[in-house]
Chains A and B, each alone.
Chain A
Amino acid sequence: MLHRRPTVSFLLEDRPANLLAVSGLGSSTWDLSAAGDNSCNFGFIGAMGQAAPFALGLALAQPEKRVVLFTGDGEILMSLGILATIANLAPENLSLVVLDNEAYSETGGQPTATAGPTDLEQVAKGAGFTNTQSVTHDSALPALREMIRGTRGPHFANIKIVAEELPLVFPYSFDGVTAINRFRDAATA
């Protein structure tokens, strides 16, 4: 079991300029912010289930850049069909990283389906991803970091993390227009 904040920070350490990072509603957005503000970050604070579709659209629009999505098990479970859509389109520049604490941590820690028999790596495999992994030890992180930055995708990594309450770290702006304008300028630069 890994800790979410050091995991995200490690994966983004010394990030290349062409790496665009998207985060799903809730804790993943606080994690992305905690790793350091960057104009190439866009964090969802709502529209649950839409972070992976957004990352896909971004990857299609910017094929020369790399796109990584950080999201939670609860957020990705809301729209599992997108995994089939991504696997069929197979964008080479897209990596999905799920921070799986087996709980809806923002709403009191109620268990998600992954606390039961659901295995998101197997779901991704069944959807058609050929490059998948389940991470349970931080020894796998250096290779994952390289994969996000350069290996032909799409990738799906499910990282088992500790369910822990952490201080919220807010993104650049809660105002959607301010946030997306800065991100779009950086993403299209």
Chain B
Amino acid sequence: MAKSMTSQRLVDWHQDIFDVLIAHNISIVAHVPDAGHGPLINKCEAHSEMQTVTLTTEQDGVGLLSGAWAGGRKGVLLMQSSGVGNTINALALPSICRIPFLTIVTMRGEWGEFIPWQVPMGQGTPKVLEAMGVRLFRVDASEDVGSAVEAAVNSAYNTRQSAAVLLSQKMIGAKQFKQG
């Protein structure tokens, strides 16, 4: 069966994430660019009330969103699993201050990965996030993305905790590499 014909491809999960962000007045979208998040980043950049911030390293997103919350604005950090490792000590800030922290992570290194260098941090991502007290909302099917992001938003901003949505590589589709 052709992969493109699976039911998962009929759901515009980037749009579902965008709709949840808008509904919750999440207006700062910090990211280190990632192909999996690409369509969502484009939607956010095109929206007049969203402010996208391109970071040079994911850890800066933790401080940035913490400062924004202290100033009364809500945000989200979009990153790839390889970027999660960059955030670890920074997560002490939302943890010890109980600042809401929300991130949406596109997973690599777990399903059909071509690049071996993606595997260590991909496999380590759930463990290190949990070790830092971040609640995980894992999604394996595109029709569940919207509800998982909704749950994570509420967990972060209603209960002042750190929450991460992990979008599985199986759902996103492994990036294809062809030489020459």
Q: Which residues of A contact B (CB under 8 A)?
A: 22, 42, 44, 46-62, 65, 79, 81-82, 84-85, 88-89, 176-177, 179-180, 183-184, 187-188
7 tightest Cβ-Cβ pairs between the two chains A and B:
A61-B71, A57-B67, A81-B56, A53-B63, A50-B63, A176-B97, A54-B67
Interface of B, secondary structure class, is helix
Beta-carbon contact of A54 and B63 below 8 Å: yes
* B53 sits at the interface (CB 8 A): yes
Residues in A neighbouring B28, C-beta threshold 8 A: 57, 60-61
- Is the C-beta of B57 less than 8 angstroms from some C-beta in chain A? yes
In whole angstroms, what is the CA distance A68 to B96 when docked?
Answer: 23
Report how far A53 CA is from B53 CA in the complex, Å: 11
Main secondary structure on chain A at its contact with chain B?
A: helix
Instruction: List 22 A-B residue pairs with CB atoms under 8 Å apart, sorted by A's residue number.
Output: A46-B93, A46-B96, A49-B59, A50-B63, A50-B93, A53-B63, A54-B93, A56-B63, A57-B28, A57-B75, A59-B71, A60-B53, A61-B73, A79-B59, A82-B60, A85-B60, A89-B53, A176-B93, A176-B98, A180-B97, A184-B70, A187-B72
Which among B54, B62, B67 has the highest number of chain A CB atoms within 10 Å?
B67
The contact of B56 among A62, A82, A179, by CB within 8 Å, is A82
Bound Cα distance A139, B7 (Å): 69
- Nearest chain A CB to B158's CB is how many angstroms away? 16
B106 contacts partner chain A, Cβ-Cβ < 8 Å: no
List of B residues within 8 angstroms of A89 by Cβ: 53
Residues of A within 8 A of B57 (CB): 79, 81
Given contacts A60-B28, A60-B67, A82-B60, 11 further A-B contacts (CB under 8 A): A46-B92, A46-B93, A48-B89, A49-B59, A53-B59, A53-B66, A54-B67, A81-B55, A176-B97, A177-B98, A184-B72
Once the chains bind, are B96 and A187 in contact (CB under 8 Å)? Answer: no
Contact with A along B33-77 (1 / 0, CB 8 A): 000000000000000000101111101111111111111110100
A-side contacts of B93, CB under 8 Å: 44, 46-47, 50, 54, 176
B67 touches A53 (CB 8 A): yes
B17: which A residues are within 8 A, CB to CB? none
B100 to chain A, nearest CB (A): 11
With most chain B CB atoms within 10 A of its CB, the pick from A44, A47, A51 is A47
Bound-state CA distance A59–B66 (Å) is 12
Residues in A neighbouring B53, C-beta threshold 8 A = 60, 85, 89
Contact B71 A57 (CB under 8 A): yes
* B90 at interface, CB cutoff 8 A: yes
Most buried by B among A49, A53, A60, A81: A53
Contact B96 A85 (CB under 8 A): no
Residue of B nearest to A20 (CB): B71
**B167: Cβ under 8 A from any A Cβ:** no
Distance of A79 Cα from B87 Cα, bound (Å): 12
**B60 partner residues in chain A, CB cutoff 8 A:** 50, 53, 79, 81-82, 85
Q: Which of A48, A81, A179, A188 contacts B97 (CB 8 A)?
A: A179
What separation, in Å, do the CA atoms of A183 and B70 have in the docked complex? 7
Q: Are A50 and B72 in contact (CB under 8 A)?
A: no
Which residues 1-24 in B have Cβ within 8 Å of A in the complex? none
B149 within 8 Å of A by Cβ?
Answer: no
**B56 x A85 contact (CB < 8 A):** yes
Chain A, residue nearest B160 (CB)? A177
